[in-house]
Structure 1
Amino acid sequence: MKKTLTTLIMLLAFGFCTLAQDLPTPPLPPTSANVADDAISKGNWLVGGSIASTGFNFSTDTYDLFINPKAGYFIGENFVLGSEVILGLTIFDGGTNFQYGITPFGRYYYTQGGGPSGRIFQEIAFGIAGSSIKDNEQDEPVSLLVGVRGGYAHFIAQNVALEAILGYTYIKADIDSDTGSGGLGISLGFSIYLPGRQ
């Protein structure tokens, strides 16, 4: 009985192994598609925006919110020139501070290191900014703004990317003065890449 049972188990195991080798392996679903190259081609347009430096400061009881829409044109492969509008609001105990500005920018997308569905990029911005504090004489109607940023654009569709950006911005209210202020900022945003005329 033991010999018959052992022989039967061996035949079944051999049969399953043979069947497993004959069955075709189904293709695995793709985890990411190579979509970034077409989106950042010469002649395309970039339209998007970001929410930057959103937060509440418990020690000073202030709340900050910045919304930065942007648009640009790819003048070369992986290189876009454009402009960004700065719209910010700081709410503090005793008032509000509305901040505004416009900054032309240049952004370069690196082809290595981002994977097939993403691109690492670096950008510089140079423009003007200002602020308006209600019932206050310390308004800065025009300030010089310089920024250096780096980020990652992850393409969730053929022409739509989610972006995470880390950057340093320096603002100088009086060009003749030696003083200015600067700081690090984090922003999250999205971009839509529109194809140009072919």
Structure 2
Amino acid sequence: MKKLLFTAAVAVLGFTSVSAQEEAKTFGFAEGDLFIEGMVGFNSTNDKNTEDKTSNFNISPKVGYFMSEDLAIGGELSFQSIKSEIGGVDAADASGFGVGAFARYYFLDLGERFKTFTEFGVDYNSLNDKSGSEDVKLNSFNAGLDLGINYFVTEKIALSFGLKNVLSFSSSKFDTDGAEAVSEFNLGFGDVANPFGGTANFGILFKL
């Protein structure tokens, strides 16, 4: 009987210890935290009636520092590839590189592991198109407002989903003599599947 009571007591203590460890886990951020995040986006269209095709791939690694538990600032790099065909003929084969800065604000928790945020970023990009007889370079300045959400798989690792350029402004200019800048402003209204508009991006975040 004593052995049985002792075994039961050990089991209860073990369960209590595990429960306490689970309760001690925190999902989210604190002032002074650092994070590394990599986002990937891909968009493709194929119109078989006109033989028009486009594909756009981008990847953007970024590093952020939390000024408070809700506000982070940081920098990012971006790499982009664009290919298109019009009527089955190559129209664009471009690749580009960019640098930028951002400020991210976490404004709503959806449960313990879901953290939603809005992010404002500015960046400078250079895109080089090699589809013609001569390379054509396009330089652009961009500013945009994004929406996103993190889901914490563990205390240190989170999955990321974002809608880029829900609200955006860009100014682009070809690197040729006499070229004029072209400005564009977009307010992203989407459809039922994507009511906020913007370009969908997926990634992973590591909290340091």
**Do these two structures clear the TM 0.5 threshold for a shared fold by scoring above it?**
yes
Aligned-partner Cα distance in 2 for 1:148–1:108: 11
1:121 aligns with 2:117: yes
**1:133 aligns to 2:133 (yes or no):** no
- The question of 1:36 aligning with 2:27 is answered yes
Give how far 1:193 is off.
0.6
- Taking structure 1 as the reference length, the TM-score comes to 0.72
The residue that corresponds to 2:206 in the other structure is 192
Deviation for aligned residue 1:181: 5.9
Partner residue of 1:79 out of 55, 71, 79: 71
What's the CA shift string for 1:40-61, capped at 9, x where partnerless? 1111111011112x12210331
Structure 1 residue aligned with 2:154, among 148, 154, 157? 157
Q: Which amino acid aligns with 1:67?
A: I
Where structure 1 has 5 or more consecutive residues not aligned to the other structure, the ranges are 1-25
Is the CA contact (8 Å cut-off) linking 1:82 and 1:104 kept in structure 2?
A: yes
RMSD over equivalenced CA pairs, Å = 2.6
Unpaired segments of 5 or more residues in structure 2? 1-14, 174-179, 189-197
Paired position in structure 2 for 1:90 = 82
Deviation at 1:178, TM superposition (A): 5.9
Contact 1:114 1:152 in 2 (8 A): no
C-alpha displacement of 1:180: 2.4
Which has the larger share of strand?
2
1:63-112 Cα distance to aligned partner (Å, 9 max, x none): 211111111111222211111211010122324111221110000112x4
Query: Aligned partners of 1:177, 1:55: CA distance in 2, in Å?
Result: 26
DSSP 3-state at the match of 1:61:
strand
1:127-163 deviation line (CA, Å, top 9, x unaligned): 21121001446421x3111010111100001111111
Instruction: State the partner residue of 1:170.
Output: 169
Matched, 1:103 2:100: yes
Higher RCO, 1 or 2 (CA under 8 Å, sep at least 6)?
Answer: 1
- Following superposition, the deviation at residue 167 of structure 1 comes to 2.7
Query: What's the offset of the Cα at 1:170?
Result: 2.9
Task: Name the larger-Rg structure.
Answer: 1
Is the 2:79–2:98 Cα contact (8 Å) retained in structure 1?
yes
2:140 aligned residue: 143
Q: Secondary structure at the match of 1:139?
A: strand
Contact 1:126 1:147 in 2 (8 A): yes
- For 1:76, what is the secondary structure of its paired residue? coil
Aligned length: 161
Aligned mates of 1:62, 1:74 — CA distance in 2: 38
CA contact (8 A) 1:48 1:189 kept: yes
Percent of aligned pairs sharing the same letter: 19
Asked whether the 8 Å contact 1:35–1:155 carries over to 2, the reply is no
CA distance in 2, matches of 1:66, 1:177: 24
Partner of 2:193: none
**Cα separation, 2, equivalents of 1:127 and 1:49:** 16
Q: Which runs of 4+ in 1 moved over 4 A?
A: none
